Homo-oligomer: A and B are copies of this chain.
């Protein structure tokens, strides 16, 4: 069944870069309250636990004074390392007067957080997602709140056969689910591929790519456990020998557990064609968001069912195409087990 927790010694996306600035940003991540801001000094994002060590007041209710947060209740002044430097009502600042600072770094438009053992936080573990900020690609993005556990979306994103049904009329067409799928596993990565040859061009592709008729469509879903996905999409007219007419897309999905069975769904979508066409960008912004909202709605509908049965989940039946999603569960469970032993 679904994992009941999420591994902590892993990188998760905490925010889009553009969200973190000089206004204190309050966000629950992995069942912890977190406050985020960007330092004046070096323009770097910072994340502290969002509760003052004194009386648990959310620090996000305070104010930013240069690169310090002043708690809005009793004025304790924390530096960006989380150490108190001033307590207004007394001269002595005890060393215990500090809050957790989470390892954080920013890369290619995303802010990554590590909520486990800081000594294990290795930035090189984060996979390549340079397309988001690459000038050869045009990107749109968004954040969808989801009232469902993260794993429901993780499995949705690894499951390419729902396109025909859940996304009928936009990116789904008939016969998709019948196309053969391969799944391969490599370390903590799951890769599910469904190449489709000589298939109908879906309406949304026609509108944004300008392709009509039959196409060869590539679709590879990569999951980097426990929370990050890249869907590699390509389309070109069937039989067209000219590869220059091939259109590529990279959909980046960051699935971060929030509080209880709620989740933040950060998404980005980059394309390598018509990158200066504002109208296409507008179509992508709304069209892609509409599709991803269908995934959120499906996850929420399932959440409502399964949470009604907890702790006795109803029996599920796995299909052949579930090899990818099931491997995703196994990877997360392994990470959880490793944390328990360690």
A contact set with B: CB distance below 8 Å: 31, 33, 50-51, 53-58, 61-62, 70-75, 87-90, 94, 96-97, 155, 159, 161-162, 164-166, 177-178, 181, 259, 298, 301-302, 304-306, 308, 314-321
Contacts and interface: CB of A to CB of B under 8 A. Distances in A.
A33 B304 CA distance: 10
A161 B56 contact: no
How many copies of this chain sit in the oligomeric assembly?
3
A177 B308 contact: no
Contact of A302 (B57, B88, B89, B308): B57
Of A71, A305, A318, chain B has the most CB atoms within 10 Å of the CB of A305
B31 A308 contact: yes
Nearest to A93: B319
Contact of A162 (B73, B90, B298, B320): B73
Contacts of A316: 53-56
Contacts of A55: 155, 302, 316
A155 to B, nearest CB: 8
Contacts of A75: 161, 164-165, 177
B73 A165 contact: yes
A57 B159 CA distance: 14
A56 B317 contact: no
A165 B74 contact: yes
Contacts of A165: 62, 70-75, 88
A55 B158 CA distance: 14
